[in-house]
């Protein structure tokens, strides 16, 4: 049985400034780019060599609490995915417009 361990805001409670804040960091932008294809990825898979695990945990919390990502516990792992449908319903075109800009951040 998988209990819901993590807070996720409802789709209609997402706010523009919180989403922009969540995306206002190069590491968090890189995470969102890595999830852009719609697949779930473990936090371990998202870890960059240059980013300590505790820092990545903090970044993933900011993304989740802004409603950008969903975290799903599975056994010992946490699987993370982009809330593309919720983001698109609330702010159509926003995420794609931001992610269109490659790695020029």
Can you give the binding site for a copy of itself, defined by CB under 8 A? 15-18, 20-21, 23-26, 29, 90-91, 93-94, 97-98, 100-101, 104-105
Instruction: Show the tokens assigned to 29.
Output: 């932008």
CA 51 to chain CA centroid, nearest Å: 16
Nearer to a copy of itself, 1 or 100 (CB): 100
User: Least distance in Å: CB of 73 to a copy of itself?
Assistant: 28
Nearer to a copy of itself, 39 or 97 (CB): 97
Per DSSP, helices labelled H in 1-105 are 16-22, 26-34, 43-46, 53-65, 84-90, 94-99
Nearer to a copy of itself, 72 or 90 (CB): 90
């Amino acid at each position: 049985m998988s209990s819901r361990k993590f807070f996720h805001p409802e789709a209609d409670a997402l706010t523009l400034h919180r989403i922009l804040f969540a995306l206002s960091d190069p590491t968090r932008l890189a995470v969102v780019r890595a999830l852009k294809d719609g697949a779930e990825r473990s936090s371990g898979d998202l870890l960059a060599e240059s980013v300590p695990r505790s820092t990545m945990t903090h970044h993933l919390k900011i993304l989740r609490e802004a409603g950008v990502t969903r975290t799903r516990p599975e056994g010992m792992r946490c699987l993370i995915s982009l809330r593309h449908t919720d983001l698109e319903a609330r702010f159509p075109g926003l995420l794609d417009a931001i992610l269109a800009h490659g790695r020029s951040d």
